[in-house]
């Protein structure tokens, strides 16, 4: 692998080599929903330049749903059309990837497509397979283009939006940095429609952002600024840098890497990669948590599993195999993989493990969370 020389990264990205670039639907499609080929060409050119200089790039691209819907609107009259909303991505994805493929080939490079669901991140075997495939592609200078497999995603196995898919992918491949390209210049100190809103250029690791109004969203794609910050917060504790930057820069990908534009997020610099733990934390399902009693808290702190007896409350819609928060006195102190669906945890909470079968009619495990699948959060350990 050649050492990068022509492209000089901004100082915060020094020594970064493996980059995950996420482009939203509003970046690669026009207002009418069709591919914005001009923008896509710039993105591909930038990626090819980076690859030629020895960087490794994973592209996470949205746009399938948008392209699919636009195509349907033109080609299939509404009259007599069976509802195809769910399938729009199945129609748009090949169109999107075809366009990318053409553009990469124009630059004598190759791209590839990997469609993922939440299961591919939370099931260790699938996770390792996907990771292995991406590693092999990167070794061969082929750019993996990732998207959610929307046509087979449903509420329990959806990643949610591509900001989270990109964050999980960045962790999966141990990326050095995650770059999220969107319609905003970056993160503003207040809602950007307000006149005196200022762009925040740097956010230090651990800096509180709760006071900022992030409710503004783009009208295409799923995730607004809040979801982007959430995605960023998933990767920076793992030592991965992150930038949020605008689609309107001249060099859409290269500019935020080489100039001081967008919002740069500091990372945990002392992070010691401990693969399984990082994997667990990054796959955590949003807004799902268990409240446990004091006895269970003590037991978990001593390295034991969580049994139904110690569960006081279960919140959120989660399923067997999902990673969720574990709270004591309302404060999350650990994460772990649930052995049961949330609805079933609700039914067995406060019961003895011997009663599980009687209550549910089946029993997978005596524990709600096994100690092997449980990680105490850093703050808890340091307290």
Q: Among 62, 157, 182, 236, which residue sits at the site for ligand GLU (rule: CB under 6 A)? A: 62
Q: Among 66, 246, 263, 305, which residue sits at the site for ligand GLU (rule: CB under 6 A)? A: 66
Binding flags for ligand GLU, 223-242, as an x/- string (CB under 6 A): x-------------------
Q: Name which of 135 and 226 has its Cβ closer to ligand GLU.
A: 226
Binding flags for ligand GLU, 163-202, as an x/- string (CB under 6 A): ----------------------------------------
Q: Name which of 225 and 334 has its Cβ closer to ligand GLU.
A: 225
147 binds ligand GLU (CB under 6 A): yes
Structure tokens at 323: 């990673």
Binding part of the chain for ligand GLU, among 60-68, 78-86, 235-243, 305-313 by CB under 6 A, reads: 60-68
Q: Among 65, 178, 179, 242, which residue sits at the site for ligand GLU (rule: CB under 6 A)? A: 65
For 314, what's the count of Cα atoms within 13 Å in the CB-facing half-sphere? 23
222 binds ligand GLU (CB under 6 A): yes
Which of 88, 129, 102 minimizes the C-alpha distance to 37? 102
- Render 111-135 in DSSP notation, one character per residue: EEEEEE-THHHHSHHHHHHHHHHHH
* Distance from the first to the final alpha carbon of the chain: 43
Q: How far apart, in whole angstroms, are the C-alpha atoms of residue 263 and residue 265? A: 6
Looking at the DSSP bridge assignments, the partners of residue 177 are: 19, 241
Q: How near is the Cβ of 220 to ligand GLU at its closest, in Å?
A: 7
Chain Cα centroid distance, residue 177: 13
DSSP reduced 3-state for 165: helix
Place of tokens 């960087």: 55
Contacts of 240 (CB under 8 A, 6+ apart): 170, 171, 175, 176, 177, 178, 267
Place of tokens 């669901």: 117
Q: How near is the Cβ of 218 to ligand GLU at its closest, in Å?
A: 9
Binding part of the chain for ligand GLU, among 57-65, 117-125, 173-181, 194-202 by CB under 6 A, reads: 57-65
Q: Among 150, 255, 322, 325, which residue sits at the site for ligand GLU (rule: CB under 6 A)? A: 150
117 binds ligand GLU (CB under 6 A): no
Binding site for ligand GLU (CB under 6 A): 25, 62-66, 89, 147-148, 150, 161-162, 221-223
């Amino acid at each position: 692998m050649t050492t990068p020389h022509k492209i000089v990264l901004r100082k915060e990205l020094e020594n970064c080599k493996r980059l995950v670039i996420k482009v939203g639907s509003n970046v690669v499609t026009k207002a009418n929903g069709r591919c914005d080929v001009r923008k896509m060409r710039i993105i591909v050119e930038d990626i090819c330049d980076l690859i030629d200089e020895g960087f490794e790039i994973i592209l996470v691209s949205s746009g399938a749903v948008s392209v699919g819907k636009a195509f349907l609107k033109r080609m299939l009259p509404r009259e007599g059309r069976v509802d195809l909303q769910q399938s729009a991505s199945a129609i748009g994805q090949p169109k999107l990837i075809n366009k990318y493929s053409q553009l990469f080939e124009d630059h004598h490079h190759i791209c590839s497509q990997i469609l993922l669901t939440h299961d591919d991140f939370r099931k260790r075997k699938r996770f390792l397979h996907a990771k292995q495939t991406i590693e092999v592609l990167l070794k061969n200078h082929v750019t993996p283009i990732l998207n959610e497999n929307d046509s087979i995603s449903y509420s329990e196995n959806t990643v949610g939006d591509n900001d989270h898919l990109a964050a999980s992918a960045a962790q999966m491949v141990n990326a050095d940095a995650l770059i999220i390209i969107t319609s905003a210049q970056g993160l503003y100190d207040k809602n950007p429609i307000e006149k005196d809103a200022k762009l925040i250029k740097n956010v230090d690791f651990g800096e509180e952002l709760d006071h900022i109004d992030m409710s503004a969203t783009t009208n295409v794609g799923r995730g607004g600024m809040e979801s982007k910050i959430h995605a960023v917060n998933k990767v920076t504790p793992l030592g991965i840098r992150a930038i949020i930057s605008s689609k309107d820069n001249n060099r859409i990908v290269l500019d935020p890497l080489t100039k001081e534009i967008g919002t740069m997020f500091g990372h945990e610099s002392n992070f010691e990669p401990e693969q399984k733990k990082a994997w667990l934390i990054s796959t955590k399902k949003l807004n799902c948590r268990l409240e446990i009693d004091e006895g269970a808290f003590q037991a978990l702190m001593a390295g034991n599993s969580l049994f139904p007896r110690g569960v006081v409350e279960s919140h959120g819609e989660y399923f067997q195999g999902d990673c969720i928060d574990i709270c004591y006195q309302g404060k999350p102190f650990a994460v772990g993989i649930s052995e049961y669906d949330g609805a079933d945890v609700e039914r067995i909470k406060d019961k003895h493990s011997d009663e599980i079968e009687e209550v549910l009619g089946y029993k997978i495990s005596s524990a709600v969370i096994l100690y092997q699948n449980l990680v105490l959060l850093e703050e808890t350990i340091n307290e």
